[in-house]
Amino acid sequence: MRYELPKEEFLYSGHIGCPGCGASLAMRYALQALGKKTMVVIPACCWSTVGGFFPSTSLKVPILHTAFETAAITASGVKKGLLAQGIEDVQVMAWAGDGGTFDIGLQALSGSAERNDDIIYVCYDNEAYMNTGIQRSSATPFLSWTTTTPNPVFKDTPKKDIMEIMAAHRIPYAATATPSFPEDFLEKMRKAKQVKGLRFIHILSSCPPGWKFPSELSVKISRLAVETKVFPLYEIENGRKYTLTVEPKGLPVGEYLKLQGRFGHLTEKMIQAIQANVDEEWSILREKVRGTRREAKGKAKGRNGQKGKGERGTGRESP
């Protein structure tokens, strides 16, 4: 069945994102899913300027730019301010990069998550400080080159697991997404819209200048991240219920890495080390997904002896 994208657009041409920018595509899809009654809070990140410099804006929804480390709490403040005036039908979306989420904004995000503030927090993760010109963040992957992890001192620690950090807050909804799987992305945003409380969407945002690949490969590389299990697409409900939403093909990680200049220095041994890490992370996630299915099955059997709703792991049940 052909998937129909929403017709109404909220990101107009004229934005100044780089050619092939995953974050621009992600914003387009996110707003299509959420619709007109959405306000966006943007801390320091590429999107501080992607929408245009004053007095231009390429977004057809209200935008509030804010300090680097404050995306979550500023969005919470907007939501509270609207509620104080009796405005209940507006979604407030924080839209931050990996630096503003994994690093400098983590404290405020944790605060909002612990209070379960009623916002959608989107991290578009391009795996380094790209707005300032490719400096490593705690989202930068193992063995990646950046300007602050130059040859030969490439990133020597793994990427921080932000999804597990958010799951540990027991927020009602957390999901990963990529703009290369738009159906999955839009469904997750729509699902998030129906949930109350803090909803966290982690988007892998392919970045041609930062990852060093030609812009026309942006969607392909984004798909390969999923198919190689480097960035699995899944969701976590209430910090407990894990559901895989796209079954990856399980291609070798080399297929993903070899297209990107930031991994151009990798030896076969280094690629094997990355493959081992990806396999290990995947098996941990797989076990959590299976555990969720077993639990759902057990509950369903205990109830009526029939197959449980969550058993097939579509993740499309209404929350």
CA 101, 102, 104, 106: dihedral to nearest 10 degrees? 70
Long-range CB pairs of 139-144 (<8 Å, 24+ gap) are 139/98, 139/99, 139/101, 139/102, 139/103, 141/230, 141/274, 142/273, 142/274, 142/277, 143/263, 143/266, 143/270, 143/273, 143/274, 144/262, 144/263
6, 18, 103, 115: which one contacts another protein (CB under 8 A)?
115
Nearer Cβ to another protein, position 52 or 254?
52
CB of 109 to another protein, least distance (A): 10
Q: How far apart are CA 309 and CA 229, in angstroms?
A: 26
Nearer Cβ to another protein, position 62 or 150?
62
Kindly write out the interface string for residues 118-157 of this chain, putting x where it contacts another protein by CB under 8 A and - elsewhere: ----------------------------------------
Task: Kindly state whether residue 82 participates in binding another protein, applying the rule CB under 8 A.
Answer: yes
Task: Kindly state whether residue 249 participates in binding another protein, applying the rule CB under 8 A.
Answer: no
Task: Kindly state whether residue 60 participates in binding another protein, applying the rule CB under 8 A.
Answer: yes
Which residues, numbered 27-46, are part of the site for another protein (CB under 8 A)? 36-39, 41
CB of 72 to another protein, least distance (A): 8
Stretch of 54-62, 257-265, 279-287, 308-316 lying at the interface with another protein (CB under 8 A): 54-62
Nearer Cβ to another protein, position 112 or 292?
112
Nearer Cβ to another protein, position 104 or 207?
104
- Whether 75 contacts 41, CB under 8 Å: yes
Chain residues that interact with another protein, rule: CB under 8 A: 36-39, 41, 48-49, 51-55, 57, 59-67, 69-70, 73-85, 87, 90, 107-108, 110-111, 114-115
